[in-house]
Amino acid sequence: MYPIATNVTQVKKYSLPPLSLYIHLPWCVSKCPYCDFNSHAARTPPDQIRYIRALIADLEHDLPYVQNRPLHSIFIGGGTPSLFDADAVAMLLERVKAHLKLKPNCEITIEANPESASLAKLKRLRQAGVNRISIGIQSLNDKLLTNIGRAHNAKRAVQAFENARLAGFANINCDLMFGLPEQTERQALSDLTSVIILKPEHISWYQLTIEPNTLFYTRKPRLPDDDAVWQLQLAGIQTLKESGYKRYEVSAYSHHKPCLHNLNYWQFGDYLGIGAGAHGKLTLAAGYKIVRTHKHRLPERYMERTMENSSCVGIRRLDAPTATFEFLLNALRLTEGFSRELFSRTGQNDSLLEQKLSPFIDKKWIISEKHLLKPTAYGIRFLNEILLYCLPDASNT
């Protein structure tokens, strides 16, 4: 492990960024054919208490990285975290709070799938301190849900949303995908308008992509063509805008309540990552070093090794070119742009930004103002091309 300063005043030039906590619960009812996350079908019920003990041991191991900072947000992801008993999640949060200080009104999110989002469970989660819920709806068309291997139907998805409201959640995100196998533009926009009618505070609306190490990668489904998907996306963006949802990130739309946890990612903040396969990004006060951590991927192996005090598979320091690239990978997703001052979180001078992005400033893909760099609509559309140019091992670096 790299040396860690216990007193943040050792940082002379740069202050440490905000700190979040990501907790990974890796089990699902079944593995969706498009999913490349570290998730595992639960053939038998997982030992939830054993896993939570491992999570807390993992957290205790990472405590030196906290460096006197309160938690900005907590995000419980997966997998399907709502498969866990609500009392088990409550116990987990109690133990987290016993180890770490939380900022006032700390955002605490849990992901839930409709098939495991009963009213009683959601009420208990709300009582436990969870104040934001992200529901994996994906579509409100039963045929399309079957095409992508989801375990719920449209009726259960709407019921899950209504349960969340009845349980007292005033901050709900709905996950919704477009560009699904055999999906028409009409079906995609119908899904979107149906979700808008529910009036969630946040909608994550994003295109299905085929990733390696998924069933869809080896058995490619028939997807809408790229031009059709682009026209659909433009129509959807306009629909969301007219309905009062602000696009603040490539695939995130908010009605006054952006996701604070994800904003911390996109603004190159720090986060502890605990759980099987979890990743973390952390800044060390001693010398202002930035490191990435990752944990054992397989749940059984993770639990065994964590209890042996060796949860961390690896830790690597980011060199300056890699830190610059990872900063841009995140910050350029923000539609309102980012301040030059934010780049100091890489430990480098912001003059490097102008140098790195000058070709795209010249092409009007990025707007350069006194204190702000902002991607244009064209820049957002061709974000991958910008990032490919900025890769650390590219010939222009």
| Segment 289-312, tens digit of pLDDT | 999 999 999 999 999 999 887 667
pLDDT range class, residue 105, cuts 50, 70, 90: very high
Nearest to 160 by CA among 203, 207, 216, 118: 118
Pairwise CA distance, residues 321 & 107, whole Å? 32
Is residue 260 over pLDDT 80? yes
Is residue 163 over pLDDT 70? yes
pLDDT, position 288: 86
Q: Which residue has the higher pLDDT, 31 or 313?
A: 31
Per-residue model confidence as pLDDT tens digits over 303-356 = 999 988 766 778 999 999 999 999 999 999 999 999 999 999 999 888 888 888
pLDDT range class, residue 4, cuts 50, 70, 90: low
Find the helix packing angle between 154-166 and 119-127, rounded to 10°: 40
Letter for the amino acid at 186? R
Over residues 78-97, the mean pLDDT reads 96
DSSP state of 348: S
Nearest to 62 by CA among 260, 243, 297, 275: 275
pLDDT range class, residue 42, cuts 50, 70, 90: confident
| Percentage, residues of the chain above pLDDT 70 | 94
pLDDT range class, residue 13, cuts 50, 70, 90: low
pLDDT, position 314: 84
- The mean of the pLDDT values for the chain is 92
Query: Do residues 357 and 348 lie in contact, with contact meaning Cβ atoms separated by under 8 Å?
Result: no
pLDDT range class, residue 5, cuts 50, 70, 90: very low
Is residue 10 over pLDDT 60? no
pLDDT range class, residue 397, cuts 50, 70, 90: very low
Per-residue model confidence as pLDDT tens digits over 189-226 = 999 999 999 999 999 999 999 999 899 999 999 999 98
Nearest to 257 by CA among 73, 40, 8: 73
